Structure 1
Amino acid sequence: MMENSAADEQESMITKPLLNDDHDGFSGKGGFRTMPFVLANEAFAQVASHGLQPDMILYLTREYHLNMATGSNIIFLWSAATNFVPLLGAIVADSFLGRFRTILFGCVISLLGMALLWLTAMIPQAKPPPCHESNKICSSATSFQLFLLCSCFGLMSIGFGGITSSSLAFGADQLQKAGGHNNGRALESYFSWYYALCTISILIAYTCIVYAQESLGWQVGFGIPVMLMLLSTLSFSLASHLYVKLKAKSSLIVEMLQVAVASYRKRHIELSTESSKLLCHHHRGPSICLPSEKLRFLNKACIIIDPEKDLTTDGKAADPWSLCTVNQVEDLKSILRVIPLWSTGMIMLVTSSQGSFSVLQAKSMNRKFGPNFEMPAGSCSMFAIVGAVLWIPFYLQIILPVASRILGRPVRLSTRKRMGIGIALSFIGMTVAATVEVKRRSLAIREGYSDDSDAVVDMSLLWLLPQSFLIGAGVTANIVAQNEFYYSEFPRSMSSISSTLSLLGVSAANLVSSFLMNAVDKLSKLGGKESWISTDINKGHYDYYYWVLAGLSVPNTIYFLICSKAYGPGKEDKKETTFHEQDD
């Protein structure tokens, strides 16, 4: 049964991305004049949000007297929420509020969360009193103090999710020509500047904001992000009358949820073994008429049982939560097929989410460069960012040309091979991290600092560079390849969902990291022993913890190879085969 809608309208629906584009009411608004406001909003928000992350473990352990395990757990959960909320934000923006309202709501909520966090540094009663200097006895935080602290993190996660979910697409909305056709050069320039500003913003956050926190104190260090977030909110809202504001409508994520619900409601229906006998609901025009045989249980969602009840007079589904199109079913199947490969990247991201441990390592190392400058411990997080940035030109300008020259033909590594390279680099990075920590801890004990976690050993901070570069390069190699793999495998209607999957991967990795760290903490303390991840870095064994993470990469590599083989030939493999046949 076909819908009776016009073919051009249906084609627009088929090619709809995660954040839909609808250009009704363009009316001369938007254009390059809105770009300074959109980009300023994102840049200020990125600096403010990322500037609070690196040193947060120091704030929790020093000011709230939390142990390393509890403080890291809070940070893991905060990061997991921050990377998951954009998915919910995309649904809200597409289906209910629209992008403008979602971003503005996110700005206000982020500002509120950062202001509350700043107040915890300003108001003495908002956190435990300082430890007694004589006996080193520290009071624990009260339930209300912890509730206030966690409320700050929750508000910032919700706010950042609202901004991140819609900012990129909202800017693209402003650069559309009348009639809805993309201005390719303008969009290409916008995307380039957008990602460049995000990278620059993170580097500024990891250097300037962190330096202010460690040199000027928490009151100033937390006050600066509040001011930046206020500027972000004002810069975005001031141009409200200039923006193209598209209406909210159903999103791809909602449509996939409809497939899951519809197939569950029809779970008792028996499918015919002959697909040609199935009466399926599909689009008119360029669309799939029959569902594939893979994951057949989802095919029930598009089966028409009673045309008179299931369809309206114009051929549309009477209840989209009970009857979906074949295209919707196939879109969900394509997502489910890549989940195993996606999970291998998620496990790899567990190794890159250990920033809190690197900060404590850096705090105990020599961070002086010259007679007057001491690098903040939290700024060591930027090493991984630099490694990520350097990997792309290194791969494109050195690895591929050298390999092509050696083999005598153009070399191009498939996306799955590059995903494997990312996992391998991450494994090497964790091995290096464990080796460096063995050397740092041995040196601290040899210098008599086994009971002094605040002591600085005679070992340069630059020892952390190799592991940070390797882990940053590994994450970049894997994530970039994942996004390219999704783009080549998914239908055009799902071309923008790859970034959402990447964020979900980071969110899941933080939850796994929290679970793993709790398990290691409890097991290593059996028999009254000191925890491997003790707050006292010299009494603990961070090197053992790093070896556990490195060991986790071995079965993950095997799991990746199995998943890659089970997936079978992808669309990019078929294109590559066709290219070689034509070349021969």
Structure 2
Amino acid sequence: MEEDSEVPFLANGAGTDNESPLAGACDYRGRPVNRSTSGGWRSALFVVVLEVSSGFAFYGVQANLIMYLTGPLGQSNAAAARVVNAWVGTASLMPLLGAFVADSWLGRYRSIILAFTLYVLGYGMMTLASMLPPEQEASTAPCSLQLALFYISLCLVALAQGADYPCALAFAADQFDPNDPRDNAARSSFFNLWYFCLAIGTTVALGGVGYVQEYFGWAIGYGMLCATVLCGVIVFLIGTSTYRLYTPTSGADNPVTLLARTLLVVLLKKKKKVEDDEDQEEEEVAIAKHVEEARSLLQLLPIWAACLSYGMIFAQIMTLFNKQGRTLDRHVIGSIELPSATMLLFGPATILVFVPFYDRVLVPMLRSMTANPSGLTMLQRLGTGIALSLAAVTTAALVETRRLKVARDHHLVDDGGATVPMSWVWLMPQHVMMATASVFAEVGMQEFFYDQMPHELRSLGLSLYYGVLGIGNFISVFLISFIESITRSAGGESWFADNLNRAHLDYFYWVLAGLNAAGLAIFLWRASYYAYKDYNKRLT
């Protein structure tokens, strides 16, 4: 039986005539499965549809959240930026907990079901909160019930992210058998397709949902998100009979125990004095696997820490980049004016163009030069992304410096609500560069942390990727709070003043550029002698 003869981006990436049962895999009823009747692109695409719906909903909230907080909820720019960064950071860190629960007890399939139950509750509550009127008709202040419901809904969505993000991508990647050459090749292309499809969901969310929220009402916009997530989980359930499920480890083999045991073995092994090689041979064979796993985990930590510099820059896209755009002239044709959130479309639109170009043109070209099947090694791809993010934030600083000069030249410094006579097109380069950086850095992190982790810890490995984005947001929160307190205490204007024409976002961008440059230097230093877990990758 020929299966999956045509796959996105990578032709003939899956399918095989081998009908033997797959070791360790079963269907949703616990029965053995084989390659021809389960998994592959057919199963993975059901999960992709599910994740497009969740990405659509999440970015539909995130794109305009700072506008909702500074508008109907009446918060300042700095406070709203902190809330957005804290929420995104929490949502990105929750996968660390979700990965442990899924790999230890619940399993990835059931974790995904739990996640989307929380999503529906969260977005439903968010819709209800946005429909509530103020406490008094003459007042624009939000009522206490509205605030409570809205913040509880944000917490539910963050919890759902924890169960969804590390499990869905790992669950989809599990549909490709790493022991089959064609499945293994397809899996590499799958990570590109995954990011491409998420960009589609993000593009529609930023363009469509942002427009609906600003011009038709917040309740309608949030209601769209709830309905989309509900449809996504229905599609996911339809594909249940085709999935390959892997039983989670338990007891002594759960992720935390495994991680602690392997690290302990390395520490004890370093202190141990071997007196008789013959007597120690059996013990050495027994612990060799754990030693190798522990060393690979220790190697990952400096790489992960260096990636945080990318996470700091990524945190600015939906907050300060968005606020910059709101001050510019957003007219396109005549009186048609773009909503500020629509300008965020430059990023996902770039991803939609660049991912196919990268996979179908750039990879084959690089493959011929490097002899690496993926064109670049995972670390080369990741490092390119961090370097591009440095270029993006440097560009953002230069553009903001020009925007402030234009505001001064037209005597708009004291008019925070005025439109600065400077076209929105000036923001395109920083958005395009950050989008290109994300194709390299984020897809690189996903594949790297999934591939280099022991099989039992692969959900945890993907949660490390989300942890980069989460901690990057929290670092941004700390920097904003720290810098604002210093600039205010000195008696001057805050760098994050509500009137952006008196603020200094350009100074903040230069601080981020310096931190990002330091992170890139650390990454290059550690990556220069990193040894891949797979011996074949060490040769590339």
TM (norm. structure 2) is: 0.79
Instruction: Say yes or no: does 1:506 pair with 2:477.
Output: no
* Alpha-carbon displacement from aligned partner over 1:77-112 (angstroms, at most 9, x marks no partner): 211222222232233233323333222211111111
Please tell me whether the aligned partners of residues 390 and 473 of structure 1 are also in contact (alpha carbons under 8 angstroms).
no
Question: Which of 298, 313, 317 lines up with 1:336 in the alignment?
Answer: 298
The match for 1:470 is 433
Please tell me whether the aligned partners of residues 104 and 236 of structure 1 are also in contact (alpha carbons under 8 angstroms).
no
**578 and 264 in structure 1: CA distance in 2 versus 1, 3 angstrom threshold:** closer
Give how far 1:479 is off: 3.6
* Alpha-carbon displacement from aligned partner over 1:109-160 (angstroms, at most 9, x marks no partner): 11111111112210024899755xxxxxxx5x67765443321111001123
Of the two, which has the highest radius of gyration?
1
The aligned amino acid for 1:332 is A
Question: 2 CA distance for matches of 1:575 and 1:370?
Answer: 55
The match for 2:87 is 78
Matches within 5 A, 1:124-523: 124-125=133-134, 130-131=139-140, 146-171=147-172, 184=183, 194-237=194-237, 247-250=247-250, 254-260=254-260, 271-274=271-274, 289=285, 326-355=288-317, 356-371=319-334, 373-388=336-351, 393=357, 397=361, 415-483=378-446, 498-523=461-486
Instruction: Say yes or no: does 1:112 pair with 2:121.
Output: yes
- Percent of aligned positions with the same letter in both sequences? 26
Please tell me whether the aligned partners of residues 176 and 184 of structure 2 are also in contact (alpha carbons under 8 angstroms).
no
Question: 1 CA distance for matches of 2:244 and 2:359?
Answer: 39
Question: 2 CA distance for matches of 1:575 and 1:197?
Answer: 30
* Alpha-carbon displacement from aligned partner over 1:193-241 (angstroms, at most 9, x marks no partner): 6444322112111211111112212121112112212223444446667
Question: 1 CA distance for matches of 2:364 and 2:401?
Answer: 35
Give how far 1:58 is off: 0.5
* Alpha-carbon displacement from aligned partner over 1:446-504 (angstroms, at most 9, x marks no partner): 33332332322221111011111222223333344445655776567767765332112
Give how far 1:71 is off: 1.2
The aligned amino acid for 2:65 is M
Give how far 1:350 is off: 0.5
Match of 2:420, SS state, is coil
**206 and 184 in structure 1: CA distance in 2 versus 1, 3 angstrom threshold:** same
Question: 2 CA distance for matches of 1:232 and 1:524?
Answer: 46
Question: 2 CA distance for matches of 1:550 and 1:383?
Answer: 21
**235 and 475 in structure 1: CA distance in 2 versus 1, 3 angstrom threshold:** closer
The aligned amino acid for 2:83 is I
Matches within 5 A, 1:536-547: 536-547=499-510
Match of 1:452, SS state, is coil
The match for 1:136 is none
**373 and 53 in structure 1: CA distance in 2 versus 1, 3 angstrom threshold:** same
Match of 1:289, SS state, is helix
Instruction: Say yes or no: does 1:556 pair with 2:519.
Output: yes
**72 and 404 in structure 1: CA distance in 2 versus 1, 3 angstrom threshold:** same
Please tell me whether the aligned partners of residues 308 and 471 of structure 2 are also in contact (alpha carbons under 8 angstroms).
yes
Paired residue total = 509
**191 and 360 in structure 1: CA distance in 2 versus 1, 3 angstrom threshold:** closer
The aligned amino acid for 1:199 is A
Give how far 1:506 is off: 1.0
**578 and 451 in structure 1: CA distance in 2 versus 1, 3 angstrom threshold:** closer
* Alpha-carbon displacement from aligned partner over 1:506-537 (angstroms, at most 9, x marks no partner): 11111111111111111111233221012221
Gaps of 5+ in 1: 1-14, 132-138, 291-324, 580-584
**39 and 274 in structure 1: CA distance in 2 versus 1, 3 angstrom threshold:** same
The match for 1:61 is 70
Question: 2 CA distance for matches of 1:555 and 1:546?
Answer: 14
**489 and 242 in structure 1: CA distance in 2 versus 1, 3 angstrom threshold:** closer
Instruction: Say yes or no: does 1:96 pair with 2:105.
Output: yes
Question: 2 CA distance for matches of 1:578 and 1:492?
Answer: 22
Question: 2 CA distance for matches of 1:573 and 1:38?
Answer: 27
The match for 1:570 is 531
The aligned amino acid for 2:150 is L
The aligned amino acid for 1:184 is D
Question: 2 CA distance for matches of 1:461 and 1:103?
Answer: 39
Question: 1 CA distance for matches of 2:136 and 2:154?
Answer: 15
**569 and 110 in structure 1: CA distance in 2 versus 1, 3 angstrom threshold:** closer
The aligned amino acid for 2:183 is G
The match for 1:534 is 497
Give how far 1:269 is off: 11
Gaps of 5+ in 2: 1-21
Please tell me whether the aligned partners of residues 126 and 145 of structure 1 are also in contact (alpha carbons under 8 angstroms).
no
Please tell me whether the aligned partners of residues 30 and 175 of structure 1 are also in contact (alpha carbons under 8 angstroms).
no
Give how far 1:379 is off: 2.2
Match of 1:428, SS state, is helix
Answer with 396-405 or 360-369: which moved more: 396-405
Please tell me whether the aligned partners of residues 81 and 507 of structure 1 are also in contact (alpha carbons under 8 angstroms).
yes
The aligned amino acid for 1:550 is A
Question: 1 CA distance for matches of 2:282 and 2:88?
Answer: 40
The match for 1:43 is 52
Instruction: Say yes or no: does 1:25 pair with 2:31.
Output: yes
The aligned amino acid for 1:336 is L
TM (norm. structure 1) is: 0.74
Question: 2 CA distance for matches of 1:488 and 1:35?
Answer: 17
**484 and 30 in structure 1: CA distance in 2 versus 1, 3 angstrom threshold:** closer
The aligned amino acid for 2:323 is L
Match of 1:373, SS state, is coil
Question: 2 CA distance for matches of 1:413 and 1:235?
Answer: 35
Match of 1:458, SS state, is strand
The aligned amino acid for 2:254 is V
Please tell me whether the aligned partners of residues 255 and 328 of structure 1 are also in contact (alpha carbons under 8 angstroms).
no
**341 and 149 in structure 1: CA distance in 2 versus 1, 3 angstrom threshold:** same
Please tell me whether the aligned partners of residues 391 and 473 of structure 1 are also in contact (alpha carbons under 8 angstroms).
yes
* Alpha-carbon displacement from aligned partner over 1:244-291 (angstroms, at most 9, x marks no partner): 6654433999334444279779999994232866988999xxxx726x
Please tell me whether the aligned partners of residues 259 and 329 of structure 1 are also in contact (alpha carbons under 8 angstroms).
no
Match of 1:55, SS state, is helix
